[in-house]
Structure 1
């Protein structure tokens, strides 16, 4: 199952980029034998200042046709890492070929795009910077692959 991070904004060089790249490399390496990955990051930028609606239109263009959409949204369910791993495995096992995680900009995801999502996910009641959410999601993808592979990375 191919994984896509469809995100608003460009992540520049720095510690967040290094962490993101590291976790995505780990996920690609570990996920391959589990039929997970590769991960592709699709960054969009609304240079005209059209707000959430314009961001949603740009995101729509990079979400692969037929992909299962999971929107990262503070209103979504909070899951444990094992629950997230089970969810990812369930999508894979049900024949999902493309999984698109959508991360909006500073104002979140436009309601029209959020309504199209088959699933939502929250990293808690706190609001996180959208650039940091990428790193957190990449780490959780790597952790999910590790859990599914039975590796000792995840400790209860």
Structure 2
């Protein structure tokens, strides 16, 4: 299985980078993993809804340019479906069995994902109704994908 993490913005804090690198290393025994970062737009304080939409649209265009036909796209969004770790493992296994072997998880910037990215997504996934910094969300996603593979392979994992 090939998994791509497609994210707006770079991970700037060293501790997030180190955590992400550790999970990327651990995942290498289960799947091929790519992390693609696209540039984020500066969001002025007190920006209008129109300005915010334009920012999300620009970021969305950058994200969509990396999504190819045949890729199964899972958008991370607060309004997405919440799953337990076991349910995520089952979903990853199900997608692999039915031939969706190129998965893309999309993480938006500080304003979220554009309507065009959400329209392209095959499904959306929520880790919580809470908002997380997108840099931290990358680490959480990597950890949960790793946990999912451990569960799929019947290997122990921390509960």
TM-score with structure 1 setting the length: 0.90
Provide the C-alpha distance between the structure 2 equivalents of 1:136 and 1:82, rounded to a whole number of angstroms.
15
Look up the match of 1:81: 85
1:2 aligns with 2:13: no
CA distance in 1, matches of 2:120, 2:34: 21
Q: Does 1:38 align with 2:42?
A: no
Matched, 1:59 2:59: no
Q: Which residue of 1 aligns with 2:46?
A: none
> Deviation of residue 41 (structure 1)?
0.3
Gaps of at least 5 residues in structure 2 are 44-53
Whole-angstrom distance in 2 between the partners of 1:122 and 1:27: 21
Flag the structure with larger Rg: 2
Equivalent pairs, count: 149
Unpaired segments ≥5 residues, structure 1: 32-36
More strand by share: 2
What is the alpha-carbon distance in structure 2 between the residues aligned to residue 108 and residue 95 of structure 1? 29
C-alpha distance in 2 between matches for 1:47 and 1:78: 28
Q: 1:154 Cα shift?
A: 3.9
Alpha-carbon distance between aligned partners in 2 of 1:99 and 1:86, rounded to the nearest angstrom? 14
Q: TM-score, normalised by structure 2?
A: 0.89
Matches within 5 A, 1:1-156: 1-12=1-12, 14-29=14-29, 31=30, 37-46=31-40, 51-155=55-159
